[in-house]
């Protein structure tokens, strides 16, 4: 019997028709690197150490970032180099670096042939 003619028990239908997702955070099974335990909880939820640990990590990395700014800001024509795609995430980041931290930014875009015309247009229009 080939795979196409295999009998399926009714209890297996949910597994075949429902996409597998984490029962805690709904991360889908096709997310890179995700695994699930026997209770259907993903490895990212299993490894989450709580909001206080997360808050401490954010404070730690913010301090490191501010130390880098203090160390390098104003030492040359540009304070930093940034890969800029013209999408909303990199445009937001560019805005934060410029307007919150006052950095002089050299924004670089690489057209790999897959960049959308809108993104290229955004790159041309954006001033930093
Ligand atoms: Zn999860």
Q: Which residue has the higher pLDDT, 3 or 18?
A: 18
Between 10 and 52, residue with greater pLDDT = 52
Take residue 47 and report the two structure tokens written for it.
């490894």
Instruction: Tell me how far the alpha carbon of residue 45 lies from the centroid of ligand 1, in angstroms.
Output: 4
Question: pLDDT-derived band of residue 18, with 50, 70 and 90 as boundaries?
Answer: low
How many A from CA of 72 to the centre of ligand 1? 38
What's the residue count for the chain?
128
Tens of pLDDT, residue by residue over 32-60, are: 999 999 999 999 999 998 999 999 999 99
Q: How far is the CA of 92 from the centre of ligand 1 (A)?
A: 27
CA dist., res. 73 & res. 60, Å (int): 20
CA of residue 68 to ligand 1 center, whole Å? 33
Q: How many CA atoms lie within 13 A of 2 on its CB side?
A: 1
Distance 40 CA to ligand 1 centre (A): 8
Range in 34-48, 73-87, 110-124 with the lowest mean pLDDT: 110-124
């Amino acid at each position: 019997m080939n795979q196409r003619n295999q009998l399926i028990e009714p209890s297996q239908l949910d597994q075949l028709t429902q996409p597998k997702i984490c029962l805690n955070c709904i991360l889908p099974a096709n997310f890179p690197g995700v695994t699930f335990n026997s209770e259907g909880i993903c490895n990212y939820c299993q490894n989450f150490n709580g909001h206080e640990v997360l808050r401490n990590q954010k404070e730690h990395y913010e301090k490191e970032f501010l130390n880098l700014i203090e160390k390098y800001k104003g030492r040359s024509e540009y304070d930093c180099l940034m890969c800029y795609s013209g999408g909303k995430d990199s445009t937001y980041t560019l805005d934060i670096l410029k307007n919150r931290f006052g950095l002089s930014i050299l924004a670089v875009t690489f057209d790999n042939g897959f960049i959308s015309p809108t993104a290229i247009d955004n790159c041309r229009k954006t001033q930093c």
